């Protein structure tokens, strides 16, 4: 069978990945292509907005790009999650004065400047005196004075204009609602049918939320827990254990916490996730001003740079690419910041400040050896053969100084791996012998731009071949320029 011809694309000159959100600004396939060429490694489809028909076309456009360039692209379908909202007002809105009493109750009568419906009985069951209710992304703040079965009377700490169906946050209590609404279940089924590689689960509060979602996924795709609730922080280790990856969703996290609390928590979440080898994404408001401006603020540049220095696997663009006026420029800026940081002479030391000791397994020892080889010997890349992606995660966790070329017979695994720090996934035919492994590793390095004649590779795999979890071999090989001739993969 003749090998399919793809447009040749050089490897990315950076290890951190860029995750970009699709939306009205990317509806044109040509815009999507320009974002990919500018540096996007994975796309986020936000299920909170848009119809399934529109999202289906987005999936098709991304897969067409993948075919055109022969590079696996991860797609993360982000579920909306349970959104708590107030009811409606008689005039569509009302002005609540600072210091005034304001009541959230169970009556469906239109609201006014003194009260409004809160159609969520679960809140009434757990809210306590002294706790807070935040409305409209935290712009309005209320402190609970009294609680009954049908009314929560609050003192208005920060007043203002409140309008129909504005969102409510309850930062001080764990609300006994499932992480998946009926809409989420429909969206989850649709996303998996479209071949989503990752599912983002919003407003995770407890590890049980992930268990329910994984059961519904039925073994398809990977599960990313979005950390945006203080209650999730309290059980972070358990949530990481139950997930395949973590997103630091700083938007809602910043609403429910004081602003100064978010940066140290971001570092804590990144570090705890990195220790497991699972990918961690830093998201929300990274280049927010570029929604309307072709240039970011200096503070935003520093924010992106710090996430890269901290060793995050991916940094995410939200409205910047989904609905902004400068989507391509936002990607180019994020790419430029990441490359500048990674070329800083102090970057390797900074990104390894977190000690990630290998577990007492042969596979972890081999992954650690690959990092040491890359630091000691002048190699161009680490080549990892994997059926499940586990070996790739182990090597990526070590944050080696060279790219990780991940060869797998599974396109699904290749796409999921596309979110891993430093990983360059390639879907290729399986191997059956040691000799074939070495030969294919060399050919793939030459074909995909990871070195030329005279370069070196560290090759990691498991013998016997085809068995997941059997990684037990690291081999350093020399690449010759004529080894590409006469082979198809």
Residue 432's pLDDT is 82
From first to last of its 489 residues, what are the pLDDT tens digits of the chain?
345 668 888 899 999 999 999 999 999 999 999 999 999 999 999 999 999 999 999 999 999 999 999 999 999 999 999 989 999 999 999 999 999 999 999 999 999 999 999 999 999 999 999 999 999 999 999 999 999 999 999 999 999 999 999 999 999 999 999 889 999 999 999 999 999 999 999 999 999 999 999 999 999 999 999 999 999 999 999 999 999 999 999 988 999 998 999 999 999 999 999 999 999 999 999 999 999 999 999 999 999 999 999 999 999 999 999 999 999 999 999 999 999 999 999 999 999 999 988 888 888 999 999 999 999 999 999 999 999 999 999 999 999 999 999 999 999 999 999 999 999 999 999 888 888 888 999 999 999 999 888 899 999 987 776 666 677 889 999 988 666 554 555
Catalytically annotated residue among 33, 34, 63, 85: 85
In 3D, which of 151, 142, 216, 232 has the Cα closest to residue 181? 216
| Superfamily, domain 17-81+179-345 | Phosphoenolpyruvate-binding domains (3.20.20.60)
Return the domain boundaries, the chain: 17-81+179-345, 93-169, 362-484
Quote the CA–CA distance of 245 and 326 in Å, as a whole number: 29
**What CA–CA distance (Å, rounded) separates 261 from 112?**
34
CB 356 within 8 Å of CB 397:
yes
**Which residue, 411, 437, 451, is CA-closest to 4?**
411
pLDDT of residue 2: 43
Catalytic residue among 226, 250, 394, 456: 226
208: left (phi over 0), alpha (psi -120 to 50) or beta: alpha
Q: Please tell me if the domain spanning 17-81+179-345 has the same topology as the one spanning 93-169.
A: no
Distance (Å, whole) CA 368 – CA 360: 11
Cα distance between residue 489 and residue 476, in whole Å: 22
Question: Is 145 designated active site?
Answer: no
Pair of tokens at residue 52:
């399934």
DSSP 164-215: TT-BEE-TTS-----S--HHHHHHHHHHHHTT-SEEEETT--SHHHHHHHHH
Our answer to whether residue 226 is catalytic in this structure is yes
**Angle in degrees, CA 158, 160, 165, rounded to 5:** 105
3-class secondary structure, 220: coil
Tell me which of 3.90.1310.10, 3.40.1380.20, 3.90.1010.10, 1.50.10.10 is the CATH number of domain 362-484.
3.40.1380.20
Distance CA 455, CA 326 (A): 40
Catalytic site includes residue 456: no
| Two structure tokens written together for 325 | 């006026």
Residue given tokens 């938007």 in the structure block: 251
From the candidates 44, 393, 399, 415, give the one annotated as an active-site residue: 44
Dihedral class, residue 41 (left if φ above 0, else alpha if ψ from -120 to 50, else beta): alpha
pLDDT of residue 1: 37
Whole-model pTM: value is: 0.94
- Note the CATH number of domain 93-169: 2.40.33.10
Residues 225 and 446: beta-carbon distance below 8 Å: no
Q: Please indicate whether residue 273 is annotated as part of the active site.
A: no
Q: ω before 464 within 30° of 0 (cis)?
A: yes
Contact 105, 123 (CB under 8 A): no
SS3 content of the chain, % helix, strand, coil (to 5): 40, 20, 40
39: its two tokens: 């540096």
């Amino acid at each position: 069978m003749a090998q399919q011809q793809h447009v040749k694309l050089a490897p990315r000159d950076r290890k951190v990945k860029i995750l970009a959100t699709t939306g009205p600004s990317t509806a044109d396939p040509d815009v999507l292509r320009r974002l990919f060429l500018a540096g996007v490694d994975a796309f986020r489809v936000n299920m909170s907005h848009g119809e399934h028909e529109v999202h289906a076309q987005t999936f098709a456009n991304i897969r067409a790009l993948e075919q055109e360039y022969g590079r696996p692209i991860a797609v993360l379908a982000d579920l909306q999650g349970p959104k708590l909202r107030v009811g409606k007002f008689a005039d569509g809105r009302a002005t609540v004065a600072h210091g005034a009493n304001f009541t959230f109750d169970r009556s469906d009568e239109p609201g006014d400047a003194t009260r409004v419906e809160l159609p969520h009985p679960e809140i009434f069951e757990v809210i306590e005196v002294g706790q807070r209710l935040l409305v409209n992304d935290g712009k309005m703040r209320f402190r609970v004075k009294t609680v009954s079965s049908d009314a929560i009377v609050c003192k208005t700490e920060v007043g203002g204009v409140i309008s129909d169906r504005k969102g409510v946050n309850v930062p001080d209590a764990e609300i006994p609602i499932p992480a998946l609404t009926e809409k989420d279940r429909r969206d989850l089924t649709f996303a998996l049918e479209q071949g989503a590689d990752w599912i983002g689960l919003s407003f995770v509060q407890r590890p049980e939320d992930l268990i329910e979602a994984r059961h519904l996924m039925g073994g398809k795709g990977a599960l990313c827990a979005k950390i945006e609730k203080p209650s999730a922080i309290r059980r972070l280790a358990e949530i990481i254990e139950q997930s395949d990856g973590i997103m630091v969703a700083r938007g809602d996290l910043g609403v429910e916490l004081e602003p100064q609390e978010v940066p140290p928590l971001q570092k804590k979440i990144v570090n705890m996730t990195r220790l497991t080898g699972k990918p961690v994404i830093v998201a929300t408001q990274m280049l927010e001003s570029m929604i309307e401006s072709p240039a970011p603020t200096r503070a935003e540049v520093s924010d992106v740079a710090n996430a890269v220095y901290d060793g995050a696997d991916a940094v995410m663009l939200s409205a910047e690419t989904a609905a902004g006026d400068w989507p391509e420029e936002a990607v180019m800026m994020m790419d430029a910041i990441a490359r500048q940081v990674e070329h800083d002479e102090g970057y390797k030391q900074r990104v390894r400040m977190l000690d990630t000791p290998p577990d007492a397994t042969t596979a972890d020892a081999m992954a650690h050896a690959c990092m040491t080889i890359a630091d000691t010997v002048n190699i161009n890349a680490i080549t990892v053969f994997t059926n499940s992606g586990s070996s790739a995660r182990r090597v990526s966790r070590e944050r080696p100084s060279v790219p990780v070329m991940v060869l797998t017979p599974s396109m699904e695994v290749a796409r999921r791996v596309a979110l891993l720090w430093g990983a360059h996934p390639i879907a290729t035919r399986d191997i059956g012998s040691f000799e074939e492994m070495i030969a294919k590793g060399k050919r793939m390095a030459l074909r995909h731009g990871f070195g030329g004649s005279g370069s070196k590779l560290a090759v990691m795999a498991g013998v016997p071949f085809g068995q997941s979890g059997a990684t037990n071999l690291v081999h350093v090989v020399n690449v010759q320029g004529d080894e590409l001739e006469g082979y198809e993969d």
